[in-house]
Each structure stands twice: as C-alpha cells, then as structure tokens.
A and B are shown apart, each in its own frame.
Chain A
Amino acid sequence: MVANDTTSMSNEPLLVVEDLKTHFHLKAGAVKAVDGVSLSLDRGKTIGIVGESGSGKTVLSRTIMGLNLGSNVHTEGSVHYQGNEILGLRAKQMRNYWGREISMIFQDPMTSLNPVVKIGRQVTEHLRHHLDMSKAEANDVALQLLHEVRIPEASERLNAYPHELSGGMRQRVCIAIALACGPKLLFADEPTTALDVTVQHQIMNLLGREQDDRDMAMVLVTHDLGVVAGRTDEIAVMYAGRVVERARTSDLFANVKMPYTEALLRSIPRTTQRSHTRLAAIPGRPPDLIHPPSGCSFSPRCAYAQDICHEEMPSLIEAGAGHVYRCHTPVGSNAATESFETNLAAGLPQAVSIKLHADAVAQQEGVA
C-alpha cells in the first residue's frame, strides 16, 4: 500500500517538487512548457500558482499529478508525495493516488462531467472503486457530500444529468467528486474561471471551508492574483514555464521583487477603483516556448529591462525567508528605477504604459 508511508516523518512536506521539466516534442522543436520548477507544500496548506495564459500552470499541475496525456511528452526532475517519488510512475500505480490521495478540480464544470451519466454515479463510482463501498453506502456518502457542498434537493440531484444543473451547481458537484475519497492534496485548476463573478466567491469560499475542515493541502491555479490574495499561504508566480517569484502570500504583496509580479498586481481590478479605470493589461505577448527569448524570458516585455537582461538568465535569488525571485534589477532597487527612467525616456511602450497607468490612478485618488 502506497497511501500511508509510515517511514516518512510527519513534519516533512506533503509535496516536494524539484527541478521539474515538462517538454513537448513537436516537429518545430521542444515546447518547454515547464522548465525547472521547484516547490514544496506542507500538509493542509495552500499554494497559489499564478501566471498568464500559457505560462504552464496546467501542464505543471498535470505533470505533478502524473496526468500528462500524449506520447510526445518528456518529463524530468522529481515529485515526492509523502516522501515517495511519484514522477514517472505508470498509470496503474498512479491509480492508487488518483482520486483517493490526490484529486483535481478542472476549469470548466460544463465539460468535466460526463453528459450521459447521472450525477449520482459520477459522485459514487470512485467511492465504490477505491473504498469498496456498496451501492447504498456510496449513495449515503454522496448525499452527505452534496449537502456539504450546499446543493439543494440533493437526493433529486443524484438522479439528474449534468445538463440539468447550472454551472455553479456543476462545479459544486465536481468539488464533491474531488473530495469524496478524502484526498490529502487537491489541485484546483482555475476552478472559477468559467463561472459568474457572484458564483466565483461562493465556490472559492466553499473550497476554503472544505480545506480547513479536512486539513487538506491545495494547489490553487489561477491567472488572477486577486483570487489567491486572501486564500493562500504561499504564492508561486509562473512565467514561461518557470517560477519567477515565490513567497509567503503576505511577503509577496508587501515586497514585490519581480517586475512580472508587479505587472500582474497592476492587472488586479481594485475595488476602490472606479469601474471605468482601465486594468493595466501587460503589454506584449507571452513568449514562444520553443525559442524563448535569450536572457530573462520577461525581458521583451519588461519596463525595467537593460542590456544584461537580454543576455543573461537571472538565477533564483533569495530575498528573505522563503522569498525567492529571478531578476537582475528587482522592483524598488535603485538600478530598477534608473533603467525605468531610461526606458521611459526611450519611449519603450511597457514603460510608457506603466507611467500612464500610475498617473491615472493618482489622478483618480486625487479626485476621490
């Protein structure tokens, strides 16, 4: 039995990922979707993985979970779960973890439930499979779960098909499914992106509550720093397949080092802002992962970029306890201010747009 490793000490992290790489081999070359990611997660804690579309968040979580589909994929590095290496295990061995130790909630509840299978079976099938429950026992547990995730008329819902439920309800069903066998680690890959704003908060609160009740660790994947702000213990910011800044959540917001994190922060809609304030989209496009830019992968879009940025890939620098970042001239440093002024004077679009945004915010705060 792999589930409970008695040899591992209980104060050791639940999950340790070291120098993980996931490359897809295409004719055009290798897509370096995940390129050397390290993280660790303690029992019951939450880490937020944040980054723009295409930064490799989904590929990272699926690689950790061993759910990478496709034969052209190449993985390297290590993933320890409760002290055991699980990277590279065959599907047959991973099935002991999937659903019962580690489970996942997907982005789109509209497509992640089987449209021709009743909710009841979808909530109970893995209970019966993993925990050897009888149909009646599994049904009782399913009812309990649906109550827990606040689905009204739970017993009728068991007999319904997915299309008879709203998006929010479906995501609640998906959460119930993911929680059913009592996993210790939950991946939530943009669990609210496909939902209405009002429903998003309910679902996030539900996840937080369940997590506390069950002492379950969570990897929360999102492109919105605002979502993870109050709900995570630690945040890892991803760019082009790498973690470019990682810190305890409060440290990160108090002391941003990496210009990309700063840019993400600027793109959070602030409740104090008037609705007509434009969000600062990050100028430029995410990099080509087959031929990434030389030097710092953010350099073509960075307002602080200087010559060294285009030549040398910054290494991971420690800023304090558990706070690391990759940048030659971190935000707030004199060098950063200097290169920003230089770039602004040269009319670099990303520098100009930051200036405009700052002016707009200042003006609004003055008016208010």
Chain B
Amino acid sequence: MGKLIIVRLLRMFATLLAVSAITFFMLKLLPGDPINQIVPLEKLDDLELVAEKEREYNLHGSSIEQYGRWLKGALRGDLGKAITQPKRVSEIIGDRWTITAELALVSVIFSVLLALPIGIFSAYRQGRTSDRVLSAGLQTGLSIPSFVIGVFLILIFAENFKILPATGWTRLSDSVWGNVKGVILPAIALSMANMAVFARLIRADMIATLQENYILSAKAKGMSDWFILFRHALRPSSLSVITVIALNLGALLGGTVVIEQLFAIGGLGRQLYDSILRRDYFVVQGITVVIASVYVVLNTMVDFVYLAIDPRIRGGRH
C-alpha cells in the first residue's frame, strides 16, 4: 500500500516533468521570435540591448539551456517575466487563479450535487417514465453550449428579476455576499453539461451495479431500497464518475474562457485568451504549464481516491 503510493507519486513527478518540457518546447516551435515582441523594431540593430533583453527574458543560449533555467525558476515558483505588462508571470497567475479555481470548483460542486440524485434515481427507475424523462432532459442539457445557458441566465436573473449581477467579479476578501452572488450564474452555466455527463455516468454504473449478486443478497436480507442504493450500490458505482469529475475540474480551469468572457470575469481563462491575442509568450507558457500540472496532480489524486474506495485495489491481505 505504502509502496503503491510512492510509485504513483514518482510517476506523477515524471509526468509533471514531461508536461513542462512538452509545453516549453511546443511554444518554442511557434513561428516568430519573442524578442521581436520585447525589443521595438527600430532598436533590433542594437545588439547590446538585444543581448541584455535576451538575458532578462531567458532567451539566451540553446533551447535546452533555456529550459534548464526556466525549470529551475519554476521549481522556485518563478515562471519568468511577462512581456506586455511589467509583472512576473507567477504574479499574474497568482492574481487570477483563485477566481478561476473558485468558479471551476463551485460549478463542479453544483453539477455533482445535481447529478448524484438524478443519476441514482434514474438507475433505480430504469426504463420507467421518470427515467426516460430525466434521460431526455440530460440529453438536452448536454447539447446546449454553456454560453447559451449563460445568456439565458443573465436574461432571467440579471435583466428580468435583477437579483444577481450580470457581469463582474467580487473577490471573496472584499465581500463574501458579493462573491457568492457573482459566482452563481457563471457556475451554473458551466455546470450544466458536466452535470449531464456525471448523471449519465452514475446512472450507467449504478444500473450495472444493481445487477450484481450482492445487491440481490442485500435485498434478500430485507434491507430497504434506500439502504441498498446508498450503502451498497453507490460506492462501487462511483469510480468512473470520480475520475471524470477530477478530469473535468482540470479541464474547467482552462475551459472557463468563454464563460469568463461572457460574464466579464478576469480569471485565468480570460488572461490566457488575452495573452494569446497580445502574444505574451511567457504568460501563455506559464498558464499552460500551471493548468496542465493541476490536471496531472488531480489525476494522481484520483488514483488515491480509488485506493480509498475499493479495498481490492489495495491488494493482498493486510
């Protein structure tokens, strides 16, 4: 068991290293030299200035050397300098990531809270009218893009009832209530598609679990349906949904771009989008690496959750 955890952790660090290298060198492959963004066109002849700027932005020496230096910095939490604003990349990310993380987290919580009862109930009533209606609803939820839902939510709750703000973001440190009000609509907009995916997964796994012999044994013991669903069937039916939840959380960090745009929220996604438009090479690099790393770390955490849920994976006798 302990050995298993160490192996997974080592594998995680190896993956992180690979991810950072891939991101670093992929961006290197893009056409155009970042120095053109840094040094104004008319001064590109000033070789001394160019050399100085190259050192400042870690553009000197071979690509491998650059990666080595960048990695060393990254391990200390420094991802280099931004080009289009006088800040370090890590500062910019530090500024923005809490917003996106909160948005992603809240939306995933919304989707799980909705998906669990829907999925379990549909599985329980498999094939009956209530299941068919719910399944059709999920299919619809899945096929509406998040920004369409966002637009509707704004129209209804911001324009019509005027109970929630249409745009903008209040930081938690500024006003708890303001923060809560600001996160609700974008989080709901983001959560619908995921909710449908989660609910369908839970339903499918639950239906499979309910066919198991041990469910029949529990029934033959006279346990109630409610007890069987929640205390016998739910845990073995949750492995795949947990994977997908964690992966979605990772994907949401990069995938909130459209919603952040629609609700004018300055999170990581919006920053990434802006930086791509402005060709701020180092910010793009930094954000990409951070998002990819979160993804990898979440994936490893999923493995650990598996260990906690299914004793068989822990392997061997005590």
Measured CB to CB, the residues of A under 8 A from B are 65, 67, 69, 71, 91, 94-100, 103-104, 106, 108, 111-117, 125-126, 129-130, 160-161, 163-164, 174, 177
Contact = CB atoms under 8 A, between A and B. Distances in A.
10 contacts: A91-B225, A99-B221, A114-B217, A116-B310, A125-B223, A129-B221, A129-B227, A130-B222, A164-B318, A177-B217
Interface in B223-279: 223-225, 227, 231-232, 235-236
A98 B228 CA distance: 14
B43 interface: no
Given A161-B312, A163-B311, A163-B312, A112 B221 contact: no
B214 interface: yes
A111 B213 contact: yes
Nearest to A164: B317
A2 to B, nearest CB: 12
B212 interface: yes
Contacts of A174: 217
A79 B318 CA distance: 47
Contacts of B213: 106, 108, 111-112
A104 B213 CA distance: 12
Nearest to A187: B220
Contacts of A114: 214, 217-218, 232, 236
A67 B236 contact: no
Given A103-B221, A174-B217, 5 more contacts: A94-B222, A112-B213, A114-B217, A116-B310, A129-B223
A60 to B, nearest CB: 15
B41 to A, nearest CB: 65
B309 interface: yes
Contacts of B232: 114, 117
A67 B216 contact: yes
B310 A96 contact: no
A23 B216 CA distance: 20
B219 interface: yes
Contacts of B231: 117, 125
A238 to B, nearest CB: 21
B137 interface: no
B309 A116 contact: yes
A135 to B, nearest CB: 14
Contacts of A71: 127
B53 to A, nearest CB: 59
A213 B222 CA distance: 23
Contacts of A97: 222
A249 B311 CA distance: 45
Contacts of A177: 217, 221
A115 B222 contact: no
A67 B312 CA distance: 29
Contact of A98 (B127, B219, B309): B219
A44 B224 CA distance: 28
B234 to A, nearest CB: 10
A67 B228 CA distance: 15
Contact of A99 (B216, B220, B318): B220
A115 B311 contact: yes
B10 to A, nearest CB: 27
Contact of B220 (A98, A111, A113): A98
Nearest to B218: A114
A105 B179 CA distance: 57
Given A67-B219, A161-B311, A164-B318, A113 B224 contact: no
A212 to B, nearest CB: 23
A130 B127 CA distance: 31
Contact of B221 (A91, A125, A161): A125
A113 B217 contact: yes
A115 B224 contact: no
Nearest to B215: A114
Nearest to B214: A114
Nearest to A69: B216
Contacts of B223: 95, 99, 125-126, 129
A116 B311 contact: yes
Interface in B185-233: 212-214, 216-225, 227, 231-232
Contacts of B127: 71
Most interface-central of B212, B220, B236, B318 (chain A CB within 10 A): B220
Nearest to B317: A164
Contacts of B311: 115-116, 161, 163
A115 B312 contact: yes
A131 B58 CA distance: 74
Given A115-B311, A116-B310, A161-B311, A65 B235 contact: no
A266 B177 CA distance: 82
A100 B220 CA distance: 10
A145 to B, nearest CB: 13
B221 A98 contact: yes
B233 to A, nearest CB: 9
Contacts of A96: 222
A267 to B, nearest CB: 27
A97 to B, nearest CB: 7
Contacts of A100: 222
A112 B232 CA distance: 12
Contact of A126 (B214, B221, B310, B318): B221
Interface string B279-315: 0000000000000000000000000000001111000
